[in-house]
Structure 1
Amino acid sequence: MKESSVEIDKTAGVLKLLGDKTRLTMVKILDTNDCCVCEFVEIFKASQPAISQHVRKLKDVGIVKEKRRGQWIIYSLNRESEFFPLIQSLLNHLPNQDFKLKELEEQGLRISCE
């Protein structure tokens, strides 16, 4: 009985994190593309510290993972996460966000850190 309430608490925490529109959109984008913070800054028109805070929260619960590429950190969806099946089913109900990256490409801002 105790174990299931822990799972419910953890799942509620993840859903609370994903209840934020910016973070939910980030996760949807990361479902199909890896991104760096600078791209999210452009997409969301938010400050780098604000975006980093969102990414850190997602990383802390294991939804997002990071990989260093030179001096840049590239973020991707952690498909090994215990929450990935839940996240995947949520993402299936959301509209594709790839157009946001297309807009960045057209502005010459896609992976501007490489």
Structure 2
Amino acid sequence: MKPMEKMIQQLKAVSDPNRLKLLACLKTGEVCVCDFVEVLQISQPAVSQQLKKLKDAGIILERKKGTWKHFRLNEEQKPYIQAIIDELEAIDVKCCQSECKN
């Protein structure tokens, strides 16, 4: 993918209110996919679609543990993406299910 195409993909990924909320949640650390449903008040498949766009853009990383997927911010961000993340107010997420803990 050409650099400009990657930039377009990343900027589109952060141009959605729900995806910005996801990034705000991830500022405090790794979060299980089940917890995003509570924060966004949308279905789990809809949350997964939003997370996929951020993951495909390289903004977040995924780790699978058993049946649960955990997400975190990629430590290596382009400066324009990091500036957007820095402007977000962190959202503290409480884990809804004890069995999905790390």
Asked if 1 retains the 8 angstrom alpha-carbon contact of 2:10 and 2:81, the reply is: no
Comparing both structures, which one devotes a greater share of its residues to helix?
A: 1
Q: Does 1:50 align with 2:46?
A: yes
SS of match in other structure, 1:58: helix
Larger Rg: 1
Between the two proteins, what is the percent identity of the paired residues?
Answer: 39
| 2:88 partner letter | L
Q: Deviations over 1:49-106 (max 9, x none)?
A: 100001111111211111122331111111135x3x32221122222322xx2xxx4x
Q: Does 1:28 align with 2:13?
A: no
Asked if 2 retains the 8 angstrom alpha-carbon contact of 1:34 and 1:75, the reply is: yes
* Structure 1 residues not aligned, in runs of 5+: 1-5
- TM-score, normalised on structure 1? 0.74
Measured after TM superposition, the shift of residue 111 of structure 1 is: 4.6
The range that moved more, 46-55 or 59-68, is: 59-68
Of structures 1 and 2, the one with the larger relative CO (CA 8 A, separation 6+) is 2
Measured after TM superposition, the shift of residue 13 of structure 1 is: 2.0
Aligned residue pairs total 98
| 1:13 partner letter | Q
Aligned pairs (5 A) from 1:1-114: 6-81=2-77, 83=78, 85-98=79-92, 101=93, 105=94, 110-112=95-97, 113-114=100-101
Q: Deviations over 1:3-44 (max 9, x none)?
A: xxx423321221111110000111121122211111001111
Measured in 1, the distance between the counterparts of 2:24 and 2:11 equals 14
Asked if 2 retains the 8 angstrom alpha-carbon contact of 1:36 and 1:111, the reply is: no
* Structure 2 residues not aligned, in runs of 5+: none
Measured in 2, the distance between the counterparts of 1:28 and 1:18 equals 11
